[in-house]
Structure 1
């Protein structure tokens, strides 16, 4: 017997006249194989469940269940409706989830931490575009040193962080964004004989200006100097990149800093540090196994798109 016409007729009824409440009741009875269990699950009375199933059967024009004193079985038409109803409910749940996700991206609060050298140079165009795309999201940016950033992520005080990858990641995950080589800012008068780089041994003979030892950058530099058996002639340290550069421009010494922090306009000459080449990897920092909110994921995706390799 060909039931294709009957099924198309039933589909038309489902699409046009049968509400979700009747389908939900049908699913509860079918999946529990019991009217009573379905009533408990739906917090309805047993007569109400029976009435809704009967109403659905009358609208479809077919019996959906074979009832006996001991059990409830699906008819052939009931089995077909069960398959279709499950697919329909799954599609509906997925659609509602996507709508809720979009709503969360359009409105809400987002907090993240960033090391100052990246915050001052790479974040402005990214946050400008993010604000234009998602004006309903309030952003709270915390500029923190490397150690403070990792701690803020661990304590879940922020959704994520943007900073260097340490030697021991621990319970944190690091998704690389770009590689950031270190630079030396030399006076234009320095006789570099046309070279584009300078060795760490040559730098050790000059008065050096660096960032404070609270930064991962300073730790890399100190380790490299010790590895070469070098002792610096003199060493000034500063907490602010702007102050460090200003001191170098005033002639106090040679500034050492990450390439991403080199100012666009400076009378100094930025050269690579060679033998050895020193660098750090800037990454998105999250707690391992922790899922980002939709808004946070959008911002992380934008960082991945726009945080290009630092210019030399």
Structure 2
């Protein structure tokens, strides 16, 4: 059955799952919308289950779709590992890389990139440090760290640090699967201001949120503050409140199996920007340069 599932069609499925919209998937992959629609339909026919719910708000993964996406991601990672295994290992590059990262990077971006670097440069010793954004900026300027991956949209010391954007992630409203807001065609910050709000605090998410609430002259009705993404996910899924977070940390299901929808707001919400940063006044070591080059290719 699966022999007819081409990698191209699976990429179409993954692109729709990521953006939630056929139009955006077509733009991301530079193909026609009809190609995306036909490809996704053929994948569903081949696997024999409905992978998406078609709604006025876009394409929403079903429970089976979420499970299938997870397995497809594993398959593509295995293919990448296979090709990487054929690439030259660089045994001549040695030394130490002092790498810092924030919480979000450590949990949602770093692991596959780090594994690929370690395979390619097995004799480079990597010292990993999970610290806050202010500690990263201080550590880079004081020569405690060589390089860092962080939410560069939060950076303050632009004058003494270089940065390279690796990816951007949209911020959207999260609600549970039966929320009344799902019936609306358009939603603004004003529309959600009176709903109980679950505020994530890690990686300065609370401070970032207020930067796009305040210009509207309103503030969220904060019920609970937490540093745990899973706590936010669970409370939203169970209908305790709503939140606005980036697609990078979005998952359609909570740990207890409750469904979460995410909705694009009408207000201009800035995306979360993730990237590399390093000291402007200091040359990168060969190991740091190798990591920077790999990260740039990894995110493209």
TM interval, shorter chain, is 0.5 to 0.7
Cα root mean square deviation, aligned: 2.5
- Tell me the TM-score normalized by structure 2: 0.61
Aligned to 1:141: 128
SS class of match (1:273): coil
Unpaired segments ≥5 residues, structure 1: 1-101
Please give the per-residue CA displacement for 1:73-129, whole angstroms capped at 9, x wherever unaligned.
xxxxxxxxxxxxxxxxxxxxxxxxxxxxx9896322212111211221111111111
Please give the alpha-carbon distance, in whole angstroms, between the structure 2 residues aligned to 1:178 and 1:232: 27
Which residue, 139, 144, 163 being the options, matches 1:174?
163
Aligned to 2:234: 246
Aligned to 1:271: 263
- Post-superposition shift, 1:265? 4.4
Please give the per-residue CA displacement for 1:6-52, whole angstroms capped at 9, x wherever unaligned.
xxxxxxxxxxxxxxxxxxxxxxxxxxxxxxxxxxxxxxxxxxxxxxx
Aligned to 2:172: 183
Number of aligned positions between the proteins = 206
| 1:217–1:280 contact (8 Å) kept in structure 2 | no
SS class of match (1:252): coil
Evaluate the alpha carbon distance shift between residue 149 and residue 203 of structure 1 in structure 2; reply closer, same or farther with a 3 A threshold: farther
Aligned to 2:144: 157
Please give the alpha-carbon distance, in whole angstroms, between the structure 2 residues aligned to 1:276 and 1:298: 36
Matched, 1:229 2:217: yes
Evaluate the alpha carbon distance shift between residue 136 and residue 175 of structure 1 in structure 2; reply closer, same or farther with a 3 A threshold: same
Unpaired segments ≥5 residues, structure 2: 1-88
Matched, 1:128 2:123: no
- Tell me the TM-score normalized by structure 1: 0.59
- Post-superposition shift, 1:250? 3.4
Evaluate the alpha carbon distance shift between residue 210 and residue 292 of structure 1 in structure 2; reply closer, same or farther with a 3 A threshold: same
Aligned to 2:84: none
| 1:210–1:257 contact (8 Å) kept in structure 2 | no
Evaluate the alpha carbon distance shift between residue 171 and residue 249 of structure 1 in structure 2; reply closer, same or farther with a 3 A threshold: same
Show the 5 A alignment for 1:46-65: none
Aligned to 1:211: 200
Q: Which protein has the larger Cα radius of gyration, Structure 1 or Structure 2?
A: 1
Evaluate the alpha carbon distance shift between residue 199 and residue 144 of structure 1 in structure 2; reply closer, same or farther with a 3 A threshold: farther
Please give the alpha-carbon distance, in whole angstroms, between the structure 2 residues aligned to 1:193 and 1:246: 18
| 1:207–1:234 contact (8 Å) kept in structure 2 | yes
| 2:162–2:278 contact (8 Å) kept in structure 1 | yes
